[in-house]
């Protein structure tokens, strides 16, 4: 990870006092310098905060990339499922028609046998008279 240097404004604080002070005109500018230890602590805290935010953003980007990969994977699987569903539909129609014709053939054969038996019975009954 690339770390960028933290650029801070000068540690010198400028206060403008608006009241008259011992012999000075109204509005004198004084420069207050913060103790070096306190400045370093502030800089370290800010740098740590920036590093934390940077880590969080890196994690978020990684999570987004992983989510994108999972979505691509899911999309591929859904396309495959759709094509298999189409194949199943075609195959099931073909099998259904084949079974219908097979059932019809069986019904025709049974019907033919019944008709032949009836004809034989009629012929036998008429010949015996």
Q: Are the CB atoms for 44 and 55 separated by under 8 Å?
A: no
Mean pLDDT along residues 48-62: 95
Q: How confident is the model at residue 38 (pLDDT cuts 50, 70, 90)?
A: confident
Q: Report helix, strand or coil for 85.
A: helix
Q: Of residues 94 and 34, which shows the higher confidence score? A: 94
Give pLDDT, residue 36.
75
Give pLDDT, residue 29.
53
Phi, psi at residue 103, to the nearest 5°? -65, -40
Give pLDDT, residue 37.
83
């Amino acid at each position: 990870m690339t770390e960028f240097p933290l650029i801070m404004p000068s540690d010198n604080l400028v206060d403008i006092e608006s009241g008259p002070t011992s012999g000075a005109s109204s509005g004198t500018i004084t420069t207050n310098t913060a103790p070096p230890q306190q400045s370093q602590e502030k800089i370290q805290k800010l740098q740590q905060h920036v590093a934390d935010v940077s880590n969080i953003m890196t994690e978020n980007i990684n999570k987004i990339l992983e989510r994108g990969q999972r979505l691509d994977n899911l999309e591929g699987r859904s396309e495959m499922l759709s094509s298999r569903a189409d194949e199943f539909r075609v195959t099931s129609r073909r099998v259904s028609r084949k079974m219908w014709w097979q059932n019809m053939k069986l019904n025709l054969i049974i019907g033919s046998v019944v008709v032949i038996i009836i004809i034989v019975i009629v012929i036998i009954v008429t010949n015996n008279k």
